[in-house]
Chain A
């Protein structure tokens, strides 16, 4: 007979050891899966993956960019999730931010560059904020189910993006938008230190640190924690739960909008329904697994992007479908999710006599 009981506390090193074991186990399972599909020596698998993610300068920068995108959205979700508001709508909030950034690049390109970028930044953040404000106010006033509401908002955003892609289609009939302002780069984030994407890293890392401080060191952060732990406690402490909900979720959406801005102005310089590319969903898992600690998010984002890039590389060299990267990512996440149980609960083998006495 196994008895399960909640742990009162666990030393930090032990919780991280359990997570590390889960990740190692997942990496082993993945090596077996890749071996089964490619007959590649399992030990060589990770060497090849490492090469795929960091092998050349180009790949390294590519990986860093992807990490930054995923991290930015995860950081955006942190306050919502800490408050236990299930914002599943990051995908849509990112897209709307991206659409607004692209619109500015197309219609306002005569404005001086620095000013244009400022305008894009603000409007994208506002667009993402509005996209999450709608479900938040509905939750606060009517107590609608936010998981389902934000999920639906994603698809409205996707269709809206599809509409604008059709509107801005270039060349005609291609059903996609070509690189916007290719000639003079109006509304493109500038290269600094000679690196075209370095500014993305600076923006995202700044947001990461600011969010860390916001959640841990400010009154707002404290209110979020209380509402997340118990709404009744929050009301008892005279915290306006509705106000905190709307404010926090809007901040969440606004940062998602900024992620959309970075994706368009700093990375792809175009817009499509794949601009968010499912990262909005992966980020939910990253935010949850890192227990809303934005610094831990850096590590988890890095792990996931490494696996994704590495698996894509293996897939292309063995000529199999690159969806293998999603499968592998799923396996890792399953293991980490499962490992939480062993952190939160204690398994004890109860002695048989003890049970018979109880009975």
Chain B
């Protein structure tokens, strides 16, 4: 039982990182933009949250005041969202306004942002004048606070459901919110119309450029929260220069396909990816076998891709204009 509990906990923590990434990317892709900059955007969110909370904690320390709990949580969150949204803005500017190719722009964004984040993550200590290891303990503690632990339910249930920081629940809420936005609001339905056929949407008087910008920036902001969660909760407020965020970012792209562009499906999809990722620890595989095992999410994603194109069910298809540029004058 203990093993099962710790497996589920590990899977949910892991899943939360990629759920943020995937939810944001679904929003972006629904507008027809394939942003392959997700790993980079998650990097931007991660480094912005670390640098801002580090600056705030240092400022409080040198001023001799106790940091405010509210600011400790809010500052990194806003910074992560904004930094990531800037990545989305850059992507939209290049692909929508300057009409550059989406795939190439997205990949460049990943290279650029991974470099930027690891440069600052690796040298933050030096830039701050040599303060020792960078660790934002106060912020991280708040992010990892199990604030729902008080609910009087059997201990086992508590351990499965309430043993997490607030970001885990926020991820689910945002996924549901994006689902509602896309399916129940006029703006969301316009966005999907653009993703299916921008020319038709344009003819119907929908603001194509505005929606594309909005989707890419908001989507990137949400993806960036995945980087924040990774830094504050998953690695407990430190920076690891090991490229993990990048591989998680690609896994988020895989999750978008796995959930066939539906945010609600990405909730259980992300936990499933988490289970697959961590289960090797519990079934006693050799290290070699583990590496094979870790292929599973990608293999399953490819099978989903093939299966979806074989079945041709309309509601499971990628947005019709995904990855294609739209310029009114070119029609």
Contacts and interface: CB of A to CB of B under 8 A. Distances in A.
Interface of A: 4-6, 37, 86, 88, 138, 142-145, 147-149, 151-156, 159-160, 162-163, 166-167, 278, 281-282, 284-285, 288-289, 319-321, 323-331, 333-334, 337-338, 340-341, 344-345
B231 to A, nearest CB: 16
A143 B309 contact: yes
A84 B253 CA distance: 21
Contacts of B323: 86, 145, 147
B87 to A, nearest CB: 11
Interface in B171-215: none
A149 B111 contact: no
Contacts of B90: 334
Given A5-B329, A163-B291, A88 B103 contact: yes
A325 B309 CA distance: 40
A281 B111 contact: yes
B228 interface: no
Nearest to B104: A288
B283 interface: no
B248 to A, nearest CB: 11
Interface stretch (B4-12, B60-68, B118-126): B118-126
B98 to A, nearest CB: 4
A159 B108 contact: no
Contacts of A156: 295, 298-299, 302
A330 B118 contact: no
A165 to B, nearest CB: 8
Interface residues of B, number: 55
B244 interface: no
B99 interface: yes
A327 B116 contact: yes
A159 B292 contact: yes
A6 B329 contact: yes
Q: Top 5 closest A-B pairs, CB basis?
A: A330-B112, A326-B115, A321-B122, A327-B115, A323-B118
B241 A321 contact: yes
B110 interface: yes
Given A156-B295, A281-B107, A148 B253 contact: yes
Contacts of B287: 166
B204 to A, nearest CB: 21
Contacts of B119: 320-321, 323-324, 327
A142 B310 contact: yes
Nearest to B328: A4
Nearest to B113: A330
Interface in B267-315: 287-288, 291-292, 294-295, 298-299, 301-302, 305-306, 309-310
Nearest to A325: B115
B34 interface: yes
Contact of B291 (A166, A278, A345): A166
Contacts of B126: 319-320
B80 interface: no
25 contacts: A145-B305, A147-B34, A147-B323, A148-B301, A148-B305, A149-B305, A151-B253, A152-B301, A153-B298, A154-B250, A156-B295, A159-B298, A160-B295, A162-B291, A320-B126, A321-B119, A323-B116, A323-B119, A324-B115, A327-B112, A328-B115, A329-B112, A333-B111, A340-B100, A341-B98
A334 B91 CA distance: 10
B331 to A, nearest CB: 11
B104 A321 contact: no
A344 B99 contact: yes
Contacts of A284: 103-104, 107
A89 B133 CA distance: 37
B116 A338 contact: no
Contacts of B220: none
Given A155-B298, A327-B116, A285 B107 contact: yes
B305 A144 contact: yes
B176 to A, nearest CB: 25
Contacts of B329: 4-6
Nearest to B99: A341
A250 B298 CA distance: 21
B257 interface: yes
Contacts of A282: 111
A152 B254 CA distance: 7
Given A4-B329, A138-B306, A145-B322, A331 B112 contact: yes
B41 interface: no
B73 to A, nearest CB: 28
Given A86-B103, A145-B318, A323-B119, A330 B111 contact: yes
A142 B308 CA distance: 10
A155 B295 contact: yes
B13 interface: no
Nearest to B114: A326
A157 B75 CA distance: 40
Nearest to A138: B306
A5 B116 CA distance: 35
A281 B116 CA distance: 17
Contacts of A88: 36, 103, 107
B2 interface: no
